[in-house]
């Protein structure tokens, strides 16, 4: 499965949105994207891709594109 | 009343507030960024100190400073209106970038259910504060009440959503909070 598809599917499941809409939602404007869900989302992405984020990276995750960028950056570091 | 409860987990500590915290508390509670939905607070440090002195004499009220294990203050949280079976929690302000909201919620529930041995804990949140209401729902709290136009903040009336956690649900909620809090405790 493509990386972007996997991230969208995880976002859709945890943030209660359609997979097609995952690209359009943002942490600031989505009321369901609370601080519990944010950590749950980042932890689930970590587990899926077998990577680890640091706190600074977790704070930088604000939408689909920033998460995709973070996953690619952490994978490239490995 | 002795305010000596201190708990720590996931690299986050709740310790009793003291008079020396007055400036930090005032900064938090008057910050436009963090206190949009917090009850009105006097911007006078003397009033904050007087409030803390009064609090330190009060029964059934625990007010904590949330800090890192490096002793850096990152927020506040409280447990109050304590009866033999239940209590309200609130006064909750946490620096968002600390990611300590779930850990601090875990610790306040730990105090309520494991130390004070309460049967129920509830919190009242301004209905417009959607992120916090969603946080409690994500944890597994149930909405049990609604108080219309119950508080005034900046001359504006707001309604309150009441969400509750019973002792029987605590272990499930604890597991959820433990799982996500490990991300900051590692």
Domain range for A52: 3-77
Interface probe, candidates A26, A39, A55, A57, chain B, greatest B C-beta count within 10 A: A39
**What does the pLDDT look like over B131-157, one tens digit per residue?**
999 999 999 999 999 999 999 988 899
Every domain of chain B and the residues it spans = 7-119+175-185
On the 0-12 / 13-18 / 19+ scale of CB atoms within 10 A, B75 is buried
Q: Which residues of A touch B138 (CB under 8 A)?
A: 34, 36-37, 40
Answer whether B37's CB lies under 8 Å from B125's CB.
yes
**What does the pLDDT look like over B6-41, one tens digit per residue?**
999 999 999 999 999 999 999 999 888 887 888 777
What confidence score (pLDDT) does residue B1 get?
Answer: 63
Answer whether A7's CB lies under 8 Å from A19's CB.
no
Q: Which residues of B touch A47 (CB under 8 A)?
A: none
Stated pTM of the model: 0.95
d(CA B50, CA A7): 51
**Homologous superfamily, domain B7-119+175-185:** Gcn5-related N-acetyltransferase (GNAT) (3.40.630.30)
Residue A28: how many other CB atoms lie within 10 Å: 9
Q: What is the CATH number of the domain that holds A23?
A: 1.10.1200.10
């Amino acid at each position: 499965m493509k990386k972007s598809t996997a991230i969208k599917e995880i976002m859709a499941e945890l943030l209660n949105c359609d997979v097609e809409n995952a690209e359009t939602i943002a942490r600031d404007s989505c009321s369901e994207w609370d601080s519990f869900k944010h950590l749950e989302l980042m932890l689930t992405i970590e587990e899926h891709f077998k990577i680890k984020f640091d706190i600074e990276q977790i704070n930088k995750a604000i939408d689909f594109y920033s998460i995709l960028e973070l996953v690619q950056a952490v994978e490239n570091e490995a | 009343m002795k305010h000596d409860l201190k708990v720590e987990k996931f690299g986050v500590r709740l310790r009793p507030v003291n008079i020396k915290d007055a400036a930090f508390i005032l900064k938090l509670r008057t910050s436009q960024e963090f206190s949009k939905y917090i009850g009105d607070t006097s911007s006078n440090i003397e009033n904050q100190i007087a409030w803390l002195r009064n609090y330190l004499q009060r029964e059934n009220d625990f007010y904590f400073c949330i800090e890192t294990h490096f002793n850096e203050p990152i927020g506040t949280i409280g447990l109050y209106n304590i009866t033999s079976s239940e209590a309200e929690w609130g006064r909750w302000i946490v620096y968002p970038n600390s990611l300590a909201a779930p850990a601090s919620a875990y610790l306040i529930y730990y105090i309520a259910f494991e130390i004070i041995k309460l049967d129920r804990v509830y919190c009242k949140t301004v209905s417009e504060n959607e992120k916090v209401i969603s946080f409690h729902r994500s944890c597994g709290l149930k909405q049990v009440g609604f108080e219309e136009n119950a508080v005034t903040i900046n001359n504006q009336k707001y309604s309150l959503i009441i969400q509750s956690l019973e002792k029987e649900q605590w272990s499930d909620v604890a597991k959820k909070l433990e799982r996500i809090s490990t991300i900051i405790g590692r």
